[in-house]
Structure 1
Amino acid sequence: MTKDVIALTPTMPDTWALLAGLYAGGPDAAVTAGPGDAVLRLCTPDGRPLVSVEAPLLVQVPGEAERLLGRDVPVPFWWTEVRASGAVPGAERLAGSVCGRLALLLGGSTWPEPAAGTEVVDVRATVAPDDGQPVVDVLTDTTSVVLADRPVLALTTWLSEVLRGTAASGRALQIVTPPHVRVSAPARATLLQVPGRWVVQDPAQGYYDGLSGAVLRWRDGTFTPALGADGTASVAEAFGRTSPSRERQLVVAFRTTLPAHQDIVLGEALDTVWRALTGSAPAGWGTAEPVNLPWSPHRLTELARDRAPEPTHLLVTGHPDRPALAWIRVTRTTAGVEQDVTLTLGYGEHEEPPLEAIPSLAGTLVEEHGLTTMLTSVRRAPRDLTTAPVLQAPTVPVAFTLGARDVRDIGLTHARRPPVGVSPVALGPASAPALHYPLGDGSDAGALGTLHRLAAHLRAGAAGGQTV
């Protein structure tokens, strides 16, 4: 099933090196570019795509190759990803030859190593689908299907382009993997938001959904849940083959709203949270995985400003000794510039998440960074922040913080008297306080019910126009 090949080189693949790699298709192969020139496509003479080649990416963030490929590569290095169409016999050999030539010329290596080659693959007689899409493996009227077999399915530039292409065509994206593949936190969050599906191919049971466990069947050009006589979907036995993890993840999801002005600097709230919880700043940021740029709130702000008024989606990663990943969505609204951030940190069996830091951190965000809301949770899950296609333990809320603006809209009296055994703590100035609601230590799943009742109480106050 492996269709991805990656060249990891200490030197940038320049124009001549890329030409040498692309010449693996022979003199009759054609080259086209995707939107923004982020992806090149090696095509048959009539223009049908065989292999996609991402623009070489300079990775300056330590640990990214190990996180995504299990390969220890010293930084800086260049990551050039090549993907073959599974619908075309011989395309995988062509992808391996492109990467093998780059590694040979530049003194690097390839992942996976056995895929590397240097031979010319004749594309003249190749028959490839003419669908106008980035290289995918199966394309139907409703669905784009991608086959993937790599240690971690990540939100790469290529996958981001596939998501855009399938969305523009009105199709769903379904990614099919073997059961040993894990999904990175950004890729998981993306698959949960788009009309897509992670399809796991289990040798014994066939196909099932990697996030819900529903048994799937290929029907009418797409994978759909196999419904029983009572109309409900059955859950694959393989999905339940798990034992409670002794490792944990701390999840901090928050939103800030800042006035829109020329001196605004984005990412500072995340920097504050990161330092408070890990003792150091983030290591790097980027728009896809691998995360490639050294951490810089100012450069992050420049990118978001250049893309405005369109939203900007960004990824941030930490140092290898403390697994941490965040994704940010920056949007311009009538209230100002909003940053929606989800930060996830991993902890081993004998490591304790720093829950004691959350109340003071909430106060800092309220006073200095325009906090709107913050939800802090803990879940039993792998320290490396990946998701395996098995049943996951529920996320247990630890605390919820409501910013001053929402407290004012709901009404301070109503907001500070929820019908649950929670005593909120006032944060910020007494004239316009925010409220911090402690919900537990992350060990009692009953805190989820408490959070739901608290949220219902606050929504009722907002709807009823409660006042102080």
Structure 2
Amino acid sequence: MTTGEARPHPLVDGVDGDVLVTRSDREVVALTPLRADLLIAAHAAQRRVRLVTPATSRLTDPLRDALASAGGSWVVEDGEGGSWDGLLGLAADGTGVSPSFLRPVEADALQLVVTASLRHRAEAATRIGGALELVAGLAGADGPTGWGPHEPVEHPWDPVAVTRHLAARAPEESRVVVAGPSLIGSTLVQRTDKGVEEVLQALVALGPVGAPSTDAAFAEVPTRLRMLAEDALPLFASVFARPGRADLTTAPHLQAPPVPVAVLIGAPGVRDLGLDVPQLVERFGALVVGRPRIPGVVVPFGGADGGWPAFERFVDVVGRERVRAVLRGVPAPDRSEA
């Protein structure tokens, strides 16, 4: 495979049909400029990337997300002739889930998995980054510490610079990686006929599971979601919790399943679903956000260890097909271009 020239891509170690094989033995494998370029080139050539690592390697969340979004795979070799899919757990020999994948994962922190979609006005005063600062605040930070198109992030955090970078690529989609001491994630911006839409994904380490400071930060989640409506129109946001690694990397083993913490349904979703806002306030303790005439709602689901029953009751009240419909309407970034 080439990247538009006669020479092969420097990270391609082999070709298996339409799959480009790339290897790394690093302890932490990140979305470096060369690795992002490989994903871009593979996507343009309608090929997929297979990353091969030893079992001692871990992926950063931006790389894991970009690899999965591009339809790639992560093959983990145990050094004794066995291998498995580090994302799905399937054994390479086709015998089902690999026992190696089921090994317990080191979990020294409570992680929050945050996704949000917001709409901004297409005007000079618009600033991208406020939502990420709110998310970083859950871990006690004023904001991310850095940003850049790849890892490691190379620029100090500056929402004005981030906005300028993203605007310079309009109307094309543009994505940046953001990082902080307890945060890793990305934000993607795209122009639509309704304005500027921002889609962010972030992984936050709150602290040790059960620690008072962790519990206090966890309790702030509904309030932080409500604050998203202060300088933009939120479309949808969700927060899930799970025990995981404090360094926010992904090991090639089964993680604990996340539990729902809270969702935000913005005014467009409330309107499209025909939601009864007072009923949600009464039954779920929902918080009303946005303008009184066209409100959105934040619906909390309880503690980090028991959010599913409340979530199921919420889905039953709203209607499963209607919830699926609003979720399908959330802009989904194509991160194959990393």
Alignment map for 1:55-454 (pairs within 5 Å)? 132-204=8-80, 206-217=82-93, 226=94, 234-242=96-104, 245-275=107-137, 277-319=139-181, 323-346=182-205, 347-349=207-209, 350=211, 352=214, 354-413=217-276, 417=279, 422-444=284-306, 446-447=308-309, 449-450=312-313, 453=316
Q: Name which one, 1 or 2, has greater alpha-carbon Rg.
A: 1
Please state how far the C-alpha of 1:267 moved relative to its aligned partner.
1.3
Secondary structure (helix, strand or coil) at the match of 1:394 reads coil
Preserved CA contact (<8 Å) 2:39 2:67: no
Q: Aligned partners of 2:37, 2:324: CA distance in 1, in Å?
A: 41
Q: Which digits, 9 at most, give the CA deviation of each residue in 1:188-220, with x for residues without a partner?
A: 111221111000011245110001110115xxx
CA distance change for structure 1 residues 176 and 244 in 2, over 3 Å: closer, same or farther? closer
Q: Which has the higher contact order (CA 8 A, sep 6+)?
A: 2
Preserved CA contact (<8 Å) 1:138 1:144: yes
Q: Aligned partners of 1:208, 1:460: CA distance in 2, in Å?
A: 32
* Greater mean alpha carbon deviation, residues 449-458 or residues 190-199: 449-458
Preserved CA contact (<8 Å) 1:397 1:451: no
Secondary structure (helix, strand or coil) at the match of 2:65 reads helix
Q: Aligned partners of 2:106, 2:158: CA distance in 1, in Å?
A: 38
Preserved CA contact (<8 Å) 1:269 1:369: no
Unaligned runs of 5+ in 1: 1-32, 36-46, 50-131, 218-225, 229-233, 464-468
Secondary structure (helix, strand or coil) at the match of 2:166 reads helix
Q: Aligned partners of 2:301, 2:222: CA distance in 1, in Å?
A: 12
Q: Aligned partners of 1:393, 1:462: CA distance in 2, in Å?
A: 27
Preserved CA contact (<8 Å) 1:439 1:450: no
Secondary structure (helix, strand or coil) at the match of 2:92 reads strand
2:336 is aligned to: none
Preserved CA contact (<8 Å) 1:277 1:357: no
Q: Aligned partners of 1:343, 1:382: CA distance in 2, in Å?
A: 14
Please state how far the C-alpha of 1:373 moved relative to its aligned partner.
1.2
CA distance change for structure 1 residues 462 and 155 in 2, over 3 Å: closer, same or farther? closer
Match of 1:456 among 309, 313, 320: 320
Q: Aligned partners of 1:406, 1:262: CA distance in 2, in Å?
A: 27
Q: Which digits, 9 at most, give the CA deviation of each residue in 1:303-334, with x for residues without a partner?
A: 11111111111111113xxx211211111112
Secondary structure (helix, strand or coil) at the match of 1:392 reads coil
Secondary structure (helix, strand or coil) at the match of 2:214 reads coil
CA distance change for structure 1 residues 268 and 450 in 2, over 3 Å: closer, same or farther? same
Please state how far the C-alpha of 1:430 moved relative to its aligned partner.
2.0
CA distance change for structure 1 residues 439 and 244 in 2, over 3 Å: closer, same or farther? farther
CA distance change for structure 1 residues 174 and 298 in 2, over 3 Å: closer, same or farther? same
Q: Aligned partners of 1:195, 1:460: CA distance in 2, in Å?
A: 23
CA distance change for structure 1 residues 295 and 243 in 2, over 3 Å: closer, same or farther? closer
The residue identity in structure 2 corresponding to 1:185 is: D
Secondary structure (helix, strand or coil) at the match of 1:239 reads coil
Unaligned runs of 5+ in 2: 328-338
Preserved CA contact (<8 Å) 2:118 2:235: yes
**Structure 1 segments (4+ residues) deviating >6 Å:** 460-463
Secondary structure (helix, strand or coil) at the match of 1:203 reads coil
2:335 is aligned to: none
